[in-house]
Amino acid sequence: MGEQQEKTVEIYDATLRDGTQSKDVNLTVHDKLKVLKLLDDAKVDYVELGWPGSNPKDMEAFLEALKIKLKHTKVSAFASTRKKNILAKDDDNLKAVLKSKAEVCSIFGKSWLQHVSAQLRATPEENLKAIFESVEFLKKSKIKVFFDAEHYFDGFKDNKDYAVDCLFNAYKAGADCLVLCDTNGGTLPEEIQEIFTQTRDMLNKKIEREDMVKGIIFGIHCHNDSAAV
């Protein structure tokens, strides 16, 4: 047997948050903890237990999970970038992540200009600042941060420079992983490969210009929302 190769792929399971958004699914805290233990037995690297800032039940699940001795899995919280016109330290959503005591946080931010203006009612610069400050705030609390670039592939097709700027601001703030999300679920595999390649090359050029240390870790978060039912 040769030397063991370094692990290059990690699994992040979002069943207990992203997988429970149907109106027909309503897990109790006990249910969530039971599934968490099963995923730990399966050696899943990260389990997203919920959104602690969204409801008391999810916060309770995080606090109860602290009592469980997990063998492999790290518990992750879900959150959004800070709200417009407030400081990250004053954002209830981000403060809830700290209260949850989660080791990891997956924080999502807009990367499609259409959503920046229509949903956030913010300028492109305000959104970039919110991404940077939110990631920076969590990193100062010694949390591992995954930045989820929501609707990334649609945003890239619309304005690739801005979509990459969103990732770059998260990277500058210390994000441990940059996750490209196919939130609409309509991007074909060959498109994903091509956009990933372009994104990597554009980011590396930005990093070189800023004389920053290279070390991008990418993630992928695909939906299948376009499938027929």
pLDDT single digits (tens) 185-216? 888 899 999 999 999 999 999 999 988 877 89
Q: Which pLDDT band holds residue 2 (cuts at 50, 70, 90)?
A: very low
**Alpha-carbon distance 148 to 155, whole Å?**
13
**pLDDT in the model for residue 3:** 47
Is 23 a residue whose pLDDT tops 90? no
DSSP notation for 59-82: HHHHHHHTTS--SS-EEEEEEEPP
* Average pLDDT for 66-72: 96
* Average pLDDT for 41-68: 95
pLDDT tens digit string along 149-172?
A: 999 999 999 999 999 999 999 999
Please give the structure tokens belonging to residue 8. 């290059």
State which CATH number among 3.20.20.70, 2.40.50.100, 3.50.50.60, 3.40.1530.20 fits the domain covering 98-122+130-223.
Answer: 3.20.20.70
Please give the structure tokens belonging to residue 63. 């606090």
Is 19 a residue whose pLDDT tops 90? no
This prediction has a pTM of 0.91
pLDDT tens digit string along 100-141?
A: 999 999 999 999 999 999 999 999 999 999 999 999 999 999
Please give the structure tokens belonging to residue 112. 């499609």
Please state, rounded to an integer, the average pLDDT across all residues of the chain: 92
**pLDDT in the model for residue 225:** 60
**Alpha-carbon distance 167 to 153, whole Å?**
12
Is 184 a residue whose pLDDT tops 90? no
CA angle (110, 143, 62) in 5-degree steps:
90
Is 1 a residue whose pLDDT tops 60? no
198: amino acid identity, one letter: Q
Residue with tokens 């649609």: 154
Is 32 a residue whose pLDDT tops 70? yes
**pLDDT in the model for residue 186:** 85
**Alpha-carbon distance 181 to 219, whole Å?**
9
**pLDDT in the model for residue 50:** 94
* Average pLDDT for 11-34: 88
